[in-house]
Chains A and B, each alone.
Chain A
Amino acid sequence: MTRAERRWDGLLFVAPFLLLYLLILIYPLLRGVWLSLHSVDLFGDGRFVGLANYARLAADPVFGQSLVNTFLITLMIVPVLTVIALALALALNRATRSAAILRGVFFSSAVLSVTIVTLIWRFVLAPDAGLLGELWTAFGWEPLPFLSAPNLVLPALAITTIWWSLGFPMLLFLAGLQQIPQDMYEAAALDRASKWTTFRRVTLPSLRRTTILVIMLQTAAQLQIFGQSQLLTAGGPSGASRTAVLFLFETAFGRWELGYASAAAEILFLIILAVTLTQYWLTGRAREGEDGR
């Protein structure tokens, strides 16, 4: 086997994925970039307008608000979700039957589609008929209008999302935990390290890759949050829960403004890309630092 062959046969392994990827994702993306320079609806030929769509976006307070909402809800979701998922994985990484059942319980919400999740949480959150409303009333408090008060609606959507998305990060952490070699724990035990020390010196460093993966994935996913806001509140009240993807959905499907929606999509794409790449770059540095040690 010559060196050159070895170099190219690696490409063969990634080629099947890459070809589909280029055709079905990158090509449509580039088409979107091209259309974002046009004023065009779903059926017209459109006309070239240069960066006019982007200029219009910069001045569009509704788009601005949707970006702010998207950032806020991502910040509300990702840290909480990561910590809870990690804690659960630590508690449930056991070979007992009860741990297996509980893993199933915490995963169970993830099997539901967003349509059903929002339907269920409507019953929890609605002030007049909801579960939380009943609870509040039982304590003698005025039920909180979670879905109609501008400052409560994002936290309400965040709680809904956390409840729904807990299962998968928990699975990732469990998979990460099980990769830690038992010998490392045995060595720690020989050193008579306390549980806390073992956790900080063995478990946490070994989970670094998984933690980063979870945070990156969740960040990228939550910046694209859509269904919860569309189905629970339709972006209301007065746009207080309109997320960026809901904005571009309304623009494309409701108003047929393909060019403008594409421009919004490119902006959102660049933002998510910047965040994801920053995270990846930071972790890359962290990894190199680790390897060099």
Chain B
Amino acid sequence: MSLLDSTPPAPGSDDDVLRLIGPTGERTASPDLDPWVSDVDDAALVRLLTDMAVVRRVDLEATALQRQGQVGLWPPLLGQEAAQIGSARALRTDDFIFPSYRETGVAYCRGVDMLEVLRLWRGAALSGWDPMEFGMGTAQIVIGAQTLHAAGYALGTRLDGSDAATITYFGDGATSQGDVNEAMVFAASFQAPVLFFCQNNHWAISEPVRVQAHAPLAGRAAGFGIPSVRVDGNDVLACLAATRRALDRVRSGSGPAFIEAVTYRMGPHTTADDPTRYRDPNELDLWKARDPLARVEAYLVSRGHDPEELRAQLQRAADEVAARLRREVVRLPDPGPLDLFEHVYAAPHEQLERERREYALYLAQFEDQAQFGDQAQFGDQARTGDDARTGKNPDGGPGAPGGAAPSAAHGTEVAR
């Protein structure tokens, strides 16, 4: 290659990816990957397929719950099941995960209750599960910020002499952020045992991956001295194998590694997004034909599994999780008004305590009124949409899925 004369391949192409199960279920050999999944028999593959079917169903249920107003917003993972399940099933329980906000499948593999995923998106809390209990950080909404945390955590495990690995998930859009590039610099500089797992789903809201990159994203890592690989992100077996291989390297003390899982965001960015405004439907059809679940199903059927039986089995597993989710999500409690002041600081903070006391006194006025006026109780939606002063709903913002209209029953008689 002469100076200033390289023509990189298009970043969206998937011709050069490593693959074990192709779109129609054909099993291909890969000397790079095969050794890492020699233990994966048909039964194990059925388990991986079941995982994918369950998280796909969780995802569809969450989208439906958003439409029904039970969830404020939802970022679907539809299409990315293989990348998430394959990579997450390669992890040990003492490994640590720093995800973005779309890793529902990873959280599922970690044993996180899917309700805890919904708690955030329902608007009932800023996060669900305990990161320290599940070895997985909570959803990171600031694009790419978590990758630096992963580099730092990995540095910590190295300093501790542990062979636990750290993995961080991010998307193609995030690779433009300074944080992600700094994370790779730091990880390489400290030879931190961290695996950068990039799900290239081709779209950052409305922007195709070519806005972020004119060459395959995996190629970025090389510039930082980090070995990388492109893998078919819709092939669960290849994702499992590639992640196992990369984790082995990471654990061995050889420094960070990078995987670009080439996949596709089949749904909108979130339920607030409308991809028909910017996406060619033909592209969707192209990727529908590369579905991560259908190919495993086809492969298993080609191995003699009964398709009806297989589908019924997946259906049962998905139904069970979905039914519980629907039943329980409405029971997720709303935070109480004074919960606002919890956990801002770890140590006592007099100024904030004063604000809490003052707000409690403020709310107590409504409690007084409730005793006389049969209004809702303090701490339980004390404020209603009716305003005692104006007799109207004074200040409802546009479409607040958080629920109740604001403002209050400020008792003219009581409070004044």
Q: Do A and B bind each other?
A: no
Give the B-binding residues of A (Cβ under 8 A): none
Give the A-binding residues of B (Cβ under 8 A): none
